[in-house]
Amino acid sequence: MRTIRDDNILKLPDGRQLCYAEYGDPKGFPIFFFHGQASSRLLCGLIPGSPFLPGVRLIAPDRPGYGQTDFKKGVTTLEKWPNDVVALANALGIDKFAVLGASGGGPYALACAWKIPECLTGVGVCSSLGPLLPETIVNAVSYTRIMWKYVPRLPRFFRAEMMFFAWLARNFPNLYVRLILAEFSKTDQKDYTRLKVADFLLLDRTEGYRQGGIGTWYDTHIPATWPITLKEIKVKVFYWHGEEDITVPVAMGRYIAEQIPDCEATFIKGFGHFWIFEHKSMGKMLEVLAPPSSSPTSK
């Protein structure tokens, strides 16, 4: 995928900094991609199989607290993220666009669907975090359940833990990988090797942890403090989730899909959280979100 530039800086109206990358066709159809937890704007340029889809302009901002996008306590919230997206779109001269969020970026795409439906041509969500409920954590890995439940009560402890993971990723990447893989399904562990995720993951994670894990710390609060009223989403949402996922359990995805009034959900057999890295997976999602004129099959 052609990288237009991966270190663009926008000053937001309140003075915060937002950093973003652009990939693909600079004159193509705009789709904003929101990366997952511990990731960054660089991910789209590192995933094997690029380019993902001709005729698409992929705009990938660092979410707050990741990479070079500022995090400001009390100002940075999931509910306010759509305002930042609109500011970025305005700065780029874009009136209408689609959004795609993966994993920890899923709630950020859903927040846009909830708050700024008039700006959107399409919404895609993959393996998304959702609200913490008894029915949404079925088969979730034990550490994840504990973290989501207790981080609002023990914020300083989990902040220190995220700082440790950030330090570990920078200084002992192989140990970091072994630790995080232990929390993934056996399917994902096999796919990690098969898809050679290590070849691009650590470069992305180093940038994602640039600010010491403050972004990941905030994201861990989202399930227990879920602010989005899914039933109020008025635009159609396309949803994808691997059935073998225990990192963000598929039960969470099924709940999200059931609550959104107009949701077309696809649950992929034989895959877990790393489905997004499978060859052509990103392209399939982008093709759903791009208008027919952007698709190579529509000529």
**Are 98 and 30 a contacting pair, CB within 8 Å?**
yes
| pLDDT category of residue 47 using cuts at 50, 70 and 90 | confident
The mean pLDDT of 50-54, rounded to a whole number, is 69
> What values do phi and psi take at 258, rounded to 5?
-70, -30
User: Which residue, among 225, 104, 170, 80, has the nearest Cα to 72 in the 3D structure?
Assistant: 80
With a cut of 90, say whether residue 59 has pLDDT above it: yes
Residue 201, in any domain of the structure: yes
Count the domains in the chain.
1
**Are 78 and 228 a contacting pair, CB within 8 Å?**
yes
Residue 270, in any domain of the structure: yes
Instruction: Give the contacts of 42 (CB within 8 A, at least 6 positions apart).
Output: 6, 21, 60, 67, 203, 204, 207
Show the tokens assigned to 249: 């359990």
Range of 115's domain? 3-294
Residue 227, in any domain of the structure: yes
Residue-level pLDDT at 174: 87
Residue 299, in any domain of the structure: no
Top-confidence range, 170-174, 230-234, 294-298: 230-234
Residue 110, in any domain of the structure: yes
- Tell me the CATH number at 13: 3.40.50.1820
pTM, rounded to two decimals: 0.94
With a cut of 90, say whether residue 49 has pLDDT above it: no
Distance (Å, whole) CA 59 – CA 41: 9
